[in-house]
Each structure stands twice: as C-alpha cells, then as structure tokens.
Amino acid sequence: MKIARSILIGVLLLIPAFVWADDATYRYPIDDSFAATILGTPQNLRPELKGELPIKTMVLETDLKKPEIFFYDHGLRYTVAFQDRKAPLIFLIAGTGGSSKSAKIVALMANLYHAGFHVIALPSPTFSNFIINASTTHVPGNLAEDADDLYRVMEQIWSQCKERIEVSHFHLAGYSLGGTEAAFVAKLDEERKVFDFRRVLMLNPALSLYNSVSRIEELLDRIPGGPRKMGAFYNRVMEKSTEFYRKGDFVAIDDDFLFAAYQAQILERDEVGGMIAVSFRISSAGMIFASDVMTRGGYVVPKNRELKNSDSLEDYFWTSLHLSFLDYFNEYFVPYFQSRQPGLTKEELIETLSLKSIEHYLASSTKIGVITNEDDFILASEELDYLRRVFGPRLKLYPRGGHLGNLEYSDNMAFLIDRLHSSTW
C-alpha cells in the first residue's frame, strides 16, 4: 500500500516533470519572442555546413514595358543552387517583402543544398520585383491570385532549368506569408499536377493574413505617440544603440554586437517589438509604392504622373512608411477587388485571405505540414488551437523561437530536412 502510494506520487510528479523535460531538452536559448525574432540563432548553434554554396541569381525576363522609375528592373529575379546529380528539387517562397536573396532564404538554401536538394527560391509576391514582373494584377495580398502567379512563375522557371538538372521529385516550402502561400500553391498543384509535390512545409505561417498583419501593426501602438511618431521612435532607438556601440569595444555592427546589446537590455521589450513593426513597415512601403506606380492607383503618387529617374521619391517613401498595411488594405486593396466584383464585402474578402478558406484540403492532404512556435506573435492562441485541430500530428510546435528566430537552430533544421526525406509524419 505504501509502495503503491509512493509510486502513484512518483507518477504524478513525473507527469509535469516529463512535460517540462520536453521543453527543457529544446535548447534554443532566447526566451523572449521579440528578441528571438530579431537575433535569430547564434552562429555556434546553427548546423555546421562545409563547402561553398553555389548560389546563382537568375532572371526570368518579362516583356512588360516598365515605368521609367523601375529602369533597373530586367525581370523577375530568382535564385538557384543546383546539385550536379539527380536529386529532389525544392521550391522556396520568401516571406512578406522578402527577395529571393533574403537572409532566411539564403539560410534555408544553404542547409537544403547541403542536405542534397536542388533549390529554387522565389521572392515574395509582396516584393516589388514580383509586383512589377510577375503579378497579373500588380495588387499583392490576394492569396489565391498570388498563388496562381507563383505557380505560373514556377512553371516558367522549371522550363528554363529542366535541361540543366535531373530531378527525382518536387517539394515546396515557404516561411511566414510565403508559408501561407505555399498551402494555396499546393492546392493548385493538386489540380494541375505539373510538380505533384511530395511534401509541402509551411514555416511559421500566418493563418489569417489580416489578423497576423494587424498583430504586427499593433506593436507600433505601444511606442510613445503611436505609429504616427515612428520616425522619432526610430531615431531614439538608433541613438541608444549608437551610444552602446560607442561605449563598448565592438568591431562592427554584427551578431556579436546585437547579442551584447540584448544581454545588456539596452532596449525595452516594447521598443524591440516596435522595431519589428518598423522593419515590416519598410517592406510594406516598397510594396505600396510599387503597386501604386504599376496600377496608376493614385494612392501615394498622382495618377497621371510619369516619374523620372532623377525625381525625388523621398516624400513617397515617407508617406508610404506612415501608411499601415491596414490602410493599404482598407483604402486600396478592398476597393480594387470590389471594383472587379461588385457587392463583395470587406469581411468576405478577409475570409478568403485565410487558411480557413481551404481548410478541407489542409485537413485531408497528408503531404502538408506546419512548423511554428508557441510564442510566434503573428498567431493568436485560438489560431494555434485551430492549427492543432486541423493539422493534428502534422503540426510541429516548438516552445519558443518567436517568429522564425529558431529557423536556423540545428534541431529545427534537422527536423525540417527529416520531414522532407520521410514519407510519413
């Protein structure tokens, strides 16, 4: 009896201990979700990759006549890293405002190439180069239409590359908004079967575009004076950082400096969150401007103005920076789609911009999986519950890492590659 009781107590004690142990065996070191998002993974905790990455930028020429202000743009720029033998090929889709050479893409490319994949990376449909060259409407954000554009571009790229490489089968992955888009692209692929993807990975995706963007925008509400004072906020943060740099013996603004600044806690948590939102605004400013020029939307640039290369764009930059993604959504995006489809309400449109609109497909397709973090601030807790319900065992949830901060952590990378290799979850 006594023994039975102690066993019972032992078991009871073990249960929380076991749960806790699962968390504790995961050694990604940064607890704070904002800090993790900015700092990423320390160099020594990333997988060691030997050999060079033969990364090349390629151009998919488009015959569009471009506005003079985009004279430097010669077509859609994508990057490739090819094996010299038969191998599976993986397409990557960048997150909001990301080019095909953004840091996260290059990190994924390096690891996947090292693991034996051919890799082709595409910019985000919200990236100016994509808006100018590959977007049918030049109005990014409509997931189904963006997926259609992505699929067309992937087909064109494939026909450009297929002579040069031997491919056994295809995979697809995207991070952040690119992860959400990957799901829509996968669904298209079920009908068109050009690639017949074997595995589709969504890395830290948004469930609802509108909700996730709202959550990022809210980070600016917590800075003094709110979003309208982001210039002053940015200057203050830069001053603090410069001051810290001046006092310390740093060689450059590099990872070491950022980690030291984090450890010294020179910024308050709301300030770190504010900087994440500012960098998001910098991306969205490029998107708003490029789209407005391409559609002659009259949103920040006068409708009938032909911009010349020597014209100052500074005022447009400042204006676009101060417009939130939600301004863009309400004043530019919704009216555009309403003009194409009279009677469409804002709420209906928001619903189509969510994984929920393809829930049936996501729940039934065993090839698609989600990898994200419990503390990823672009997801609300009920959205995490939704992902748990729909994806079940095909959801891998790490206890921390913020938004993509742990992407390069060696455990994460090993898991990601393992999922691509294996045929079951």
Site residues (vs another protein, CB under 8 A): 69-73, 77, 99, 123, 127-129, 228-232, 234-235, 238, 242, 245-246, 251, 253, 285-286, 289-290, 292-293, 298-305, 308-319, 322-323, 327, 331-332
CB 190 within 8 A of CB 361: yes
Shortest gap between Cβ of 318 and another protein (angstroms)?
5
C-alpha to C-alpha distance for 166 and 359, rounded to whole angstroms = 34
Strand 118-122 relative to strand 167-175, pairing: unpaired
Strand order in the sheet with 87-93: 56-60, 76-81, 118-122, 87-93, 167-175, 199-203, 368-373, 395-398
C-alpha to C-alpha distance for 203 and 376, rounded to whole angstroms = 11
Nearer to another protein, 131 or 202 (CB): 131
Nearer to another protein, 304 or 422 (CB): 304
Shortest gap between Cβ of 91 and another protein (angstroms)?
19
Shortest gap between Cβ of 414 and another protein (angstroms)?
30
* Long-range contact set of residues 227-234: C-beta below 8 Å, sequence gap at least 24: 227/277, 227/322, 227/324, 228/322, 230/274, 230/278, 230/281, 230/321, 230/322, 233/271, 233/274, 233/278, 234/275, 234/278
Shortest gap between Cβ of 345 and another protein (angstroms)?
21
Strand 368-373 relative to strand 87-93, pairing: unpaired
Nearer to another protein, 98 or 369 (CB): 98
Nearer to another protein, 33 or 283 (CB): 283
Strand 76-81 relative to strand 56-60, pairing: antiparallel
Provide DSSP, 312-358. --HHHHHHHHHS-HHHHIIIIIHHHHHHHSTT--HHHHHHHTBGGGG
Nearer to another protein, 142 or 291 (CB): 291
Shortest gap between Cβ of 260 and another protein (angstroms)?
15
Shortest gap between Cβ of 314 and another protein (angstroms)?
6
Shortest gap between Cβ of 303 and another protein (angstroms)?
5
Nearer to another protein, 38 or 290 (CB): 290
Helix, strand and coil content of the chain, in percent to the nearest 5, comes to 55, 10, 35
Nearer to another protein, 127 or 329 (CB): 127
Nearer to another protein, 133 or 180 (CB): 133
Pick from 225, 250, 249: which is nearest to 235 by CA? 225
Shortest gap between Cβ of 223 and another protein (angstroms)?
12
